[in-house]
Amino acid sequence: MEFKFSEENLIKAEASIKKYPSSKAAVMELLYIAQEQNGFITNEVMRETASMLNLDTVEVLSVVTFYTMYHTKPVGKHHVQVCTNVSCMLRGGYEILDCVVEKLGIRKNEVTPDQRFSIEEVECMGSCGTAPMISVNYDYYENLTKEKVTEILDSLE
Amino acid sequence: MEKILLLDIPDLHQIDVYMQNGGYDAAKKAYQKTPDEVIDEVKRSGLRGRGGAAFPTGLKWSFMPKSADKPKYLCVNGDESEPGSFKDRQIFEYNPHALIEGVLIACYAIQAKSAYIYIRGEYHNWIQMLQKALDDAYEKGFVGEKMSEAVGGNFTCNIYIHKGAGAYVCGEESSLMNSIEGKRGYPRVKPPFPAQFGLWGCPTTINNVETIANVPAIINKGWEWFSKIGEPKHPGTLLYGISGHVNKPGVYEAPSGTLLTDLIYNFAGGVTGNKKIKCVIPGGSSMPPLRGEQIEGIKMDAESLRVAGSAIGTGGVIVMDEDTNLVAVLERIARFYHHESCGQCTPCREGTGWMLKTLRRIAKGEGTTSDIDMLTEVAGNIEGNTICALGDAAAWPVKFMLQRFRDEFEKAVKPSVTMQVNNKVHSMRETLIPLAEITK
Ligand SMILES: Cc1cc2nc3c(=O)[nH]c(=O)nc-3n(C[C@H](O)[C@H](O)[C@H](O)COP(=O)(O)O)c2cc1C
Ligand code: SF4
Ligand code: FES
């Protein structure tokens, strides 16, 4: 599958490169832009990103694999991230995870057959004071109960 | 009670409201002074870093070389990934201009023309809030090339946001710089220190978001005022984040040195279900946990907590009630550090794996007494033997949890006898036989 940045994203990428004295520094932002456009990061995405920044594809690969927020496999339209770290755990984070797993009928790191949902267990999201929490794509849902999380999942298109 | 950052002013995140309340006056005031005078003011105020180590901020700034042969940088650390810490997020949301103004003053003091604010990627929505504030500040000419027109003088400075992508270790300052440079977030070997060889090899200062956001108030109201708030050795207010088994978890701004019991029972409304406290971690998951019976009279500041056998860290207080399974908690903490170890140093990479495996065994009821000693030993082997402090952060909870709650862990394991196997080839080998199996 070939990958090219869209017109609009090329403009974003250019702006991002300008933020830094060395274009290599824009790699993280370009990968985000590409991921948003393509859904996940493929070899073609890495090659294209590398060529835009005059890098080796290997350098881009080493960045992609280091950070957990770059996906090298497809995720669902709603990527449900459940925090189970200490503060969430103390307030029922694992029960929330079980509830999400049961409700969506898939396990952690799986995608529903209709591609609408995927589940990931994540480390502390900086929401410990409003635990337990989940994040769907970038949106935080906090102070959850099993009932609330079921409602939230139902409300997602 | 005096507050500096989370003020009760509606819509303070909007630039007009911020300006109506004296916003950006501190920056103008700072530009009237020499950079050294600004550093001196911050030094005298006694401000100490809010990112974990409580390092004196003015002193850190004074390490920056005065020569101008290379560009200089300020990095602001908003990675906020330590479990139990969730305070910097409040600043992005409720007082982003205090952060931006603080960045301007800090940049002026160290004569940096560019600043990068590093924010964890998961905070995408808060990045957008800060970006909006930043755009407004650019628009008004407080930041960027229009500065000399808008505020006079000839100091100009650009501020950029760098979005992280999910890696706790990137909160470590040298890893953070590698991440900004577009590399894997591997911590660097020190020395050289960032003030000599930082971002792109140039002199760099790294400060936490909350640290920087305190600077405008210090310049506005003077060092004397600031130095009188809270504990003299660690003055100012702190954003305490309280989570776990309390009725009203959240972030509370209060003077340094506030009693830990005050935070738990007054600010956070007491323990859920009126239970007793078994354990409190006072400064984020890497800091030594305290026993519930131990917390009476403990003040929340760097010096008092050090004396009490813990550390202030990020001020993230995690409260656990009497029914908490500490073996499960420690296993979860160990899993976090194992997951986040970057793998560069053997003691950290292997040690975090060993600790996790052993704790899993204990949690499953398959551990033995010698596992407890082994854990202590592994933690001891990590501590002080690694490139960055993530190693210590992984070792401390294990070491101190076992030291202070040994009873809990002993209840969870089977007693074991250790027997030397007298076999020539394997004379060094020890076989561990659970007592239960022998007496079966
Ligand atoms: C593993 C690790 C993670 C860290 N995470 C953070 C963080 O998220 N935010 C932060 O401000 N400091 C963090 N620190 C501390 C920084 O290295 C650095 O000391 C701090 O940003 C300095 O700012 P300050 O002097 O204003 O406290 C971390 C340190 C380590 C070892
Ligand atoms: S201590 Fe751990 S996280 Fe830090 S550099 Fe070594 S392996 Fe990486
Ligand atoms: S522990 Fe879940 S958000 Fe911090």
What is the block-wise mean pLDDT of chain A (157 residues), using blocks of 10 residues? 95 98 98 97 98 97 98 97 98 98 98 98 98 98 98 95
pLDDT of residue B374: 96
Give per-residue pLDDT as tens, B185-203.
999 999 999 999 999 999 9
**Which DSSP helix (H) or strand (E) runs through B57?**
helix B57-62
Given a cut of 50, whether residue B427 has pLDDT beyond it is no
Please compute the mean of the pLDDT values over residues B7-30 and round it to a whole number. Answer: 97
Residue B187: nearest ligand to its CA? 2
Residue A131: nearest ligand to its CA? 3
pLDDT of residue B437: 63
Using most ligand atoms within 8 A of CB, pick from B169, B173, B386 the residue to mutate for ligand 1: B173
Please compute the mean of the pLDDT values over residues B347-372 and round it to a whole number. Answer: 97
User: Locate tokens 């250019």: which residue?
Assistant: A14
Neighbours of B120 (CB within 10 A): 26
Percentage of chain B modeled with pLDDT above 70: 95
Given a cut of 60, whether residue B258 has pLDDT beyond it is yes
The beta-carbon contacts of A31-37 under 8 Å, at least 24 apart in sequence, are: A31/A60, A31/A63, A31/A64, A31/A70, A31/B165, A32/B121, A32/B163, A32/B165, A33/A5, A33/A9, A34/A3, A34/A5, A34/A9, A35/A70, A35/A71, A36/A9, A37/A5, A37/A6, A37/A9
Nearest chain B residue to A91, by CA: B244
Which of A25, A59, A140 minimises the CB distance to B180?
A: A25
Residue B185: nearest ligand to its CA? 2
Q: Provide the mean pLDDT of chain B.
A: 95
Cβ neighbors of B270 (< 8 A, separation 6 or more) are B246, B247, B264
Tell whether ligand 2 has an atom less than 6 A from the beta carbon of residue B347: no
List, in sequence order, the alpha helices (H) in chain A. 7-18, 27-38, 43-52, 57-66, 86-90, 93-104, 146-155
pLDDT of residue B414: 85
Cβ neighbors of A76 (< 8 A, separation 6 or more) are A111, A112, A115, A116, A117, A118
Tell whether ligand 1 has an atom less than 6 A from the beta carbon of residue B358: no
Tell whether ligand 3 has an atom less than 6 A from the beta carbon of residue A81: no
The CA B287 to ligand 2 mean position distance, Å, reads 17
The CA B49 to ligand 1 mean position distance, Å, reads 9
How many contacts, defined by CB atoms under 8 Å, are there between A and B? 141
Q: Give, as one character, the DSSP assignment of residue B187.
A: P
Which of B165, B179, B318 minimises the CB distance to A70?
A: B165
A85–chain B nearest CA distance, Å = 7
Q: Does A62 touch chain B (CB under 8 A)?
A: yes
Please compute the mean of the pLDDT values over residues B296-311 and round it to a whole number. Answer: 98
Percentage of chain A modeled with pLDDT above 90: 98
Please compute the mean of the pLDDT values over residues B341-366 and round it to a whole number. Answer: 97
Chain B residues touching residue A22 (CB < 8 angstroms): 181-182, 200
Given a cut of 60, whether residue B287 has pLDDT beyond it is yes
pLDDT of residue A1: 76
Calculate the alpha carbon distances from B238 to B19, B257, B406 in Å: 24, 9, 32
The overall pTM is greater than 0.80: yes
Give per-residue pLDDT as tens, B102-156.
999 999 999 999 999 999 999 999 999 999 999 999 999 999 999 988 887 889 9
The amino acid occupying position B36 is D
Given a cut of 50, whether residue B338 has pLDDT beyond it is yes
Please compute the mean of the pLDDT values over residues B298-303 and round it to a whole number. Answer: 98
Are B404 and B410 within 8 A, CB to CB?
no
